[in-house]
Amino acid sequence: MALRGKLLVGQSGGPTAVINASLAGVIEEAGRHGEIKGIYGAVNGVVGLLQEEMVDLRAESEGQIALLPNTPSAALGSCRKKLSEADYARLLAIFQAHNIRYFLYLGGNDSADTSHRIGLLAQAAAWEMRVMGVPKTVDNDLAFTDHCPGYGSVARFSALAARDAGLDSFAMRTVDTVKIIETMGRNAGWITASTALAREEPGDSPHLICLPERAFDADRLLAGITRQVDRGHGCVVAVCEGLRDAEGKALVEFKHAVGMDSFGHRQLGGVGDYLVALIAERLGIKARFDKAGTIQRVFGLAQSEVDVAEAKLVAAAAVRSACEGVTDHMVTLERVSQCPYRCEVGLAPLEKVAHAERPLPDEFINEEGNDITPAFLDYARPLIGGPLPRYARLELRRVTKLLEAS
């Protein structure tokens, strides 16, 4: 028997280049189901929902909905908030007052936990409501899914940034010998690893990659930099903001309380600056660092068409599953073919998703711990939506010298 009522969708956590494609997927698919009597959007996720701030998404024009898939960031607004027991009770009252029977939350681990708890609360109150998680995270660290919508686009951005930074470093190698590229990533090095997709020929940057899955070893890094610099082409190193020492402590983190969210996650950053100082002190070499910051996760020009399509795919699947009676699950992506690349959707319990994290697996990291393996390239390359633009490669044939060096 169909469950009749309204559908509510919210966006949570860090925005991505394709989370609005998932929003469009929810709106479009929900419109195909007669049992869904209204499509509401939560303004700023559960933060706005607690204030009963919702919008009628059916009131939006078709033209604006059509633009959503290629619009980066979170059009409804997002949040990071850990709910209290009183908050959950407030949400239940709002669901009941507005006859919300379908709740879809677009987010990562913390959002999965919030969604799971909302589902349990509704069940305990005998309020029939289907709760579904729609995966979203540039960190690509959700378990039970091959990859996460948002990752393909940030990986494309990272590859483009690493390649262009490499060209800049090669041009300026007589002045700025070493370039550090700092990427996002709290506990997992998926984004940092994707900089390797910049390489087209041997010797292309990045020349070294430092991941949080391996303890940071200053001596090993400096030795690797020295070897690369001695080749005369400069050195580009991609590093993750979440680098940790041998004791598992973050190498650098924002110390003040205002840098911590309600889930206890401290703001990270500053690894690039730290390494520049270390290189200058230990090697006497000038180094610079590039850090894109949050722009890397929402850069619209780096959108991957594969990422956009899959963001819509998982959202539509969440709506269909909810209408079929499924609840308390997140939609997953399952890779069923590599050549040609193809994914299908699956389901994973929200409770399991919320309490699991997927680091970069060992088979994707080289033995020395300072680079990735071909297996990672095979995994990630289909996700970025086609090859990077072609650049010129001058042969730079030297003219015969006619004068003695002065």
- Token pair listed for 304: 């991957």
Split at pLDDT 50, 70, 90, the class of 261 is low
Would 394 be classed as within a structural domain? no
Looking up tokens 């819509």 gives 312
Most confident of 141-150, 248-257, 259-268: 141-150
pLDDT of residue 133: 97
Q: Tell me, what DSSP letter sits at residue 35?
A: T
Kindly state the average pLDDT of the residues 292-298: 93
If DSSP codes are grouped into helix, strand and coil, which group holds residue 263?
coil
Surface-to-core class of residue 169, CB atoms within 10 Å of its CB (0-12 exposed, 13-18 middle, 19+ buried): buried
Q: What are 334-363's pLDDT values in tens digits?
A: 999 999 999 999 999 999 999 899 999 999
Q: Tell me, what DSSP letter sits at residue 29?
A: H
Q: H or E stretch including 6? A: strand 5-11
CA distance linking residue 380 with residue 66, whole number of Å: 28
Q: Assess whether 236 and 257 both reside in one domain.
A: yes
Q: What are 189-222's pLDDT values in tens digits?
A: 999 999 999 999 999 999 999 999 999 999 999 9
Would 226 be classed as within a structural domain? yes
Residue 258 predicted with pLDDT over 70: no
Residue 326 predicted with pLDDT over 90: yes
Q: Assess whether 257 and 275 both reside in one domain.
A: yes
Q: What are 69-128's pLDDT values in tens digits?
A: 999 999 999 999 889 999 999 999 999 999 999 999 999 999 999 999 999 999 999 999
Q: Assess whether 23 and 103 both reside in one domain.
A: yes
In 246-293, which ranges are E strands? Answer: 287-291
pLDDT of residue 233: 84
Would 49 be classed as within a structural domain? yes
DSSP characters over 99-124: TEEEEEEEESHHHHHHHHHHHHHHHH
CA distance linking residue 196 with residue 223, whole number of Å: 20
Q: What are 28-57's pLDDT values in tens digits?
A: 999 999 999 999 999 999 999 999 999 999
Residue 235 predicted with pLDDT over 50: yes
Tally of structural domains, the chain: 2
CA distance linking residue 376 with residue 20, whole number of Å: 27
Domain that holds residue 368: 151-301+359-384
Split at pLDDT 50, 70, 90, the class of 256 is very low
Q: What are 111-146's pLDDT values in tens digits?
A: 999 999 999 999 999 999 999 999 999 999 999 999
Would 400 be classed as within a structural domain? no
Phi and psi, residue 246, nearest 5°: -65, -20
Catalytic residue among 87, 110, 113, 139: 139
Mean pLDDT of the chain: 93
Would 337 be classed as within a structural domain? yes
Strands 36-42 and 54-56: antiparallel
Split at pLDDT 50, 70, 90, the class of 316 is very high
Q: Tell me if residue 204 is catalytic.
A: no
CA distance linking residue 378 with residue 242, whole number of Å: 24
Q: Assess whether 157 and 142 both reside in one domain.
A: no
Contacts of 239 (CB under 8 A, 6+ apart): 180, 181, 182, 183, 192, 209, 210, 271, 272, 275
Q: Assess whether 30 and 138 both reside in one domain.
A: yes
Would 404 be classed as within a structural domain? no
pTM metric for this prediction: 0.93
Kindly state the average pLDDT of the residues 280-302: 94
CATH number at residue 365: 3.40.50.460
Q: Assess whether 39 and 9 both reside in one domain.
A: yes
- Token pair listed for 266: 């401290």
CA distance linking residue 387 with residue 228, whole number of Å: 27
Q: Assess whether 84 and 163 both reside in one domain.
A: no
Would 406 be classed as within a structural domain? no
Q: Assess whether 295 and 350 both reside in one domain.
A: no
Task: With both helix axes pointing from N to C terminus, report the angle between 271-283 and 218-230 in degrees, rounded to the nearest 10.
Answer: 70
Would 391 be classed as within a structural domain? no
Split at pLDDT 50, 70, 90, the class of 257 is very low
How many alpha carbons lie under 13 Å from residue 146 in its C-beta half-sphere? 22
pLDDT of residue 174: 87
Residue 204's alpha-carbon distances to 134, 153, 233, 299, in angstroms, are: 37, 21, 10, 24
Q: Assess whether 198 and 276 both reside in one domain.
A: yes
DSSP characters over 308-354: HHHHHHHHHHHHHHHHTT--SEEEEEEEEEETTEEEEEEEEEHHHHH
Altogether, the residues listed in the chain come to a count of 406
If DSSP codes are grouped into helix, strand and coil, which group holds residue 330?
strand
Q: Tell me, what DSSP letter sits at residue 53?
A: -
Q: Assess whether 39 and 50 both reside in one domain.
A: yes
Q: Assess whether 222 and 115 both reside in one domain.
A: no
Chain center to CA of 285: 33
Residue 266 β-bridge partners? 260
DSSP characters over 218-240: HHHHHHHHHHHHHTTS-EEEEEE
Nearest to 266 by CA among 373, 186, 210, 339: 186
CATH number at residue 71: 3.40.50.450
If DSSP codes are grouped into helix, strand and coil, which group holds residue 51?
coil
Residue 406 predicted with pLDDT over 80: no
Residue with the larger pLDDT of the pair 70 and 248 = 70
Q: Assess whether 206 and 332 both reside in one domain.
A: no
